[in-house]
Amino acid sequence: MEPASFKDLERTGWIAKASTYPLGFGGATKGAVDPLLDAVGVSRGTRLLDIACGPGDGAGRAAGRGATAVGINFAPTMVELARRRFPEANFREGDAESLDFAEASFDAVICAFGLLHMAEPERAITEAFRVLAPGGHYAFTVWAPPERHQFYELVFSAMNEYGRMDVPLPPAPPFFRFSDPDESRRVLLAAGFDELKVDEVPLVWRYKSAESVIDMIYKSAVRLSMMLEHQTADARERIHQAVIEGAGKFRQYGGYAMAVPAVLVAARKP
């Protein structure tokens, strides 16, 4: 039997985690929706495509602005959840790397925290370009690199100290590849986009208790959970303890919150 590819593992992971994702990182990613919709100019009548829509907030909020909004995701459980949450938008199963839409079908395309989970993100960018009408806008978000992102800084330093980062997962693009504005510009220009803009969006991740952070990693992250599952039992336990101890330091107003900024990249199809 062929070993599972990175894409297979991601898809299986997202199918399993759809119902718990909104309680974890989905709570933080929602903050990027309006900046993304503003970046692509969504208003009444805009034809909007939300790629890797997850629980549906991008397309759902675009429909709330009067747009004709479509969301696609390769995990059927996410599509079902999005449909239940936002009946006014249209959600369907689909692959970002091979979109099932004719060229020039949309005025605006967004992809919130999707590219960093894809095996072939260049294909997803070329596909976004193809389905956009000339003059249409594209915008995506990815996480800022660990040096500015309190959650990744905490987890990756614990993993470096007590375990290993080079676990045997199938080959995949680097997680923070598009957090680098030069790399994003290079790939978008090569796909044919112009009018490139890069901004940082200051998001916050709130959580109930330091211990709940571990639970949320396993319930709402896919690659990171796999990296933890591949540690030895001893290393994993030490990493958990270090993360809990670190997470306990971000106390605010009776709860906890970490700064989890996003990089927002926007461009236009000439």
Ligand X SMILES: C[S@@+](CC[C@H](N)C(=O)[O-])C[C@H]1O[C@@H](n2cnc3c(N)ncnc32)[C@H](O)[C@@H]1O
Q: Which residues bind ligand X (CB under 6 A)?
A: 10, 14, 26, 29, 52-54, 58, 73-75, 78, 95-97, 112-114, 117-118
Q: How far apart are CA 161 and CA 265, in angstroms?
A: 32
E-only strand ranges, 42-155:
47-51, 68-73, 90-93, 106-112, 132-143
- CB closer to ligand X, 57 vs 242: 57
Closest CB to ligand X among 95 and 107?
95
Q: Which residue lies nearer to ligand X by CB, 128 or 188? A: 128
- Contact assessment for residue 159 and residue 86, using Cβ atoms and an 8 Å cutoff: no
151/162 with CB nearer ligand X: 151
Least gap, CB of 233 to ligand X (angstroms)? 27
Residue nearer to ligand X on the CB measure, 171 or 254: 171
Nearest-angstrom CA–CA distance, 143 and 50: 18
Tokens 């602005």 belong to which residue?
Answer: 65
Tell me the residue nearest to ligand X as measured from the CB.
Answer: 54
The dihedral formed by the CA atoms of 61, 62, 68 and 73, expressed in degrees to the nearest 10: -70
Nearest-approach distance from CB 246 to ligand X, in angstroms: 22
In the complex, least distance from residue 91 CB atom to ligand X, rounded to whole angstroms: 11
122 or 235: CB nearest ligand X: 122
Identify which of residues 224 and 243 has a Cβ nearer to ligand X in the complex: 224
Instruction: Tell me the closest approach of the beta carbon of residue 49 to ligand X, in angstroms.
Output: 12
If you count DSSP H runs as helices and E runs as strands, how many of each does the chain have, helices first? 11, 10
For residue 170, the minimal CB distance to ligand X (Å) is: 14
CA proximity to 266, closest of 32, 101, 62: 32
What is the smallest separation between the CB atom of 238 and ligand X, expressed in angstroms?
Answer: 27
| Helix spans in 65-199 (H) | 76-85, 121-131, 150-162, 181-191
Helix (H, G, I), strand (E, B) or coil at 33: helix
Least Å distance, CB 110 to ligand X, is: 8
Alpha-carbon distance of 226 to 100, in angstroms, equals 30
State how far the Cα of 29 lies from the Cα of 43, in Å rounded to an integer.
21
